Structure 1
C-alpha cells in the first residue's frame, strides 16, 4: 500500500523552510531546529553591523546565505537585528575584493617543480589544468 505522506514528501522541494515546517518528516524537522540552535549559540562569535550585516569575528568573513536563512528562524533577540540582504551585498563585495587580490598576487606566479609534480600526480602527464579564479592555463608535461 502506498503511503500518501511519503508520496507528498517525495514531491516537496528540499528547502530549509520545508524542513522547519515539518514537510520533509520528523528527522528533517528536528535537524532544522538543531541547526538553528547551533547557529544561535554561535552568536557571540558574530559581529552584527549597524545595517544588520553579519560576519564572523574570527575571520571577518560575512556569513554564507544558508546560515543567514537559518538565522531568520532564530529567536527574536537575534533575528530582529540581522539582515540577510545586507549580508549578501557585503559578502559579494568581499568575495570580489578577494578574487581581485588573488588574481593580482598570482599574475606573475611561476610554478615550482614541486607544484608541477603534484599536478602531474593528480591529473596525469599531458593534462591541462586551469586556475579558474586567475584564468591561468597550465599544460602538464
Structure 2
C-alpha cells in the first residue's frame, strides 16, 4: 500500500466535500489526491495509483457510476477498491452493485464512518461482490445515512 494507511483518490464535484473528505482521511494517515469529476479521475488514476477511490454519483462530464464501470473494464484499474460516497437512490445503489462498486456511504455521513469504510477497503477486508452490511454499519437508517458493502 502507498503511504502509511494507503492512498485515496477522492472524486467529487463539490470543493467543500472534497476538502471534508481529504481532511478526515489525512488525519487518519491516508495520502489523498482529489479530482473534480470522473473524467479527471480517469486522467489521473494511473499516475496516482490509489488503493481506494471514492466517487460521487452526480458529477459533470462523467458521473461516478460510469466512472466505476470504466475503471472495472480497464485491466490496469479493475482491481482498485471503489466506494460510492453520494446521496444516492436505491437505483444508483443497484447500478453501483452491477458495475462492481465495493462499498457505499450515503451523504450526509459521519466522518468516522467514511474513515472506517476507506480503511476496510484499503486493508482488503471487503471484497468486490460481497453483499450485506460492513462491520455492523447501518443500512438505510440514521437520518438518511447508510453505509453498505456491495
Q: State the TM bucket, normalised to the shorter chain.
A: under 0.3
Please, what TM-score do these two structures have when normalized by structure 2? 0.24
Q: If you compute each CA radius of gyration, which structure gives the higher value, 1 or 2?
A: 1
Structure with the larger helix share: 1
